[in-house]
Amino acid sequence: MAEGGCFKNLLAGIGCLTVLTVGGIVGWQYRAQLGGLYRSIVERESQASSPGSGADSVPTMGRPSALAFESARSKQEAIARRDGPGYVTLSADEMASLIAVGLGPAGRAALDSIAVTLHDNRLAFQASLNTSLLGAALPGPLAGMLSAREPVRVSGPARVAAVGAVAWKPDSFVVRSFPFPESAVPVVVNKLTGRPDGIVPISVPPTVGDLRIRTSGVTFYRR
């Protein structure tokens, strides 16, 4: 009986080891999906604990400021630490401050009254634009119709494009009430940023691997 019990214990041990090994292999192969599941659970908990969160939440508007920029930098420094949090959430004011920095000196000089609105999975930017900056990028019929300064609305999704870099890529550009063709949007964005790729860069710590834009804030997740 003792030998039989030992044999059963040996089989049970082998079985547990096999389960753990298979589980480890499966977990590695599906690590991206499991990471997404973890983020979805974190988001649901965050939404449940936030007053007014849910399907009826409304877009939040923020404006850049030195205080908001320092607050955003503080959160970035936190997630950059080796023992930092798994995620941080930036407010609309904090995101507006980071975007304003990403525009570069030329873009900031051409724009004032900057505001950023958070929508689900999209960032929307509005400001007063010095239209002379656009020059030849203006579609022909608009060139003689615009005043020296006009309201501009720009929107699009954002993603982590590389280590330490988020790319906000506008796909909508409206001056006054005139929408630009989607094919022309990268050209006018480049006029504002001085870049060749049609994006507004947002610097983030190298530890950031993903982001989620919601009306209540923009959450950066550790890679």
Determine the pLDDT at residue 90: 97
How is residue 184 written in tokens? Answer: 């022309």
Helix or strand (DSSP H, E) at 209: strand 208-214
The class (CATH top level) of 59-222 is: alpha beta
For 108-143, what is the HEC assignment? HHHEEEEEEEEECCEEEEEEEEEHHHCHHHCCHHHC
Averaged pLDDT in 10-residue chunks for the chain of 223 residues: 51 53 52 46 47 62 96 96 95 95 84 95 94 70 77 96 94 90 89 89 94 96 93
Taking only the tens place, the pLDDT of each residue in 63-115 is: 999 999 999 999 999 999 999 999 999 999 999 999 998 888 888 888 999 99
Q: Provide the CA 171 distance to its chain's centre, in angstroms.
A: 15
- Residue spans per domain, the chain: 1-49, 59-222
Q: What per-residue confidence (pLDDT) applies to 49?
A: 45
- pLDDT of 138 reads 67
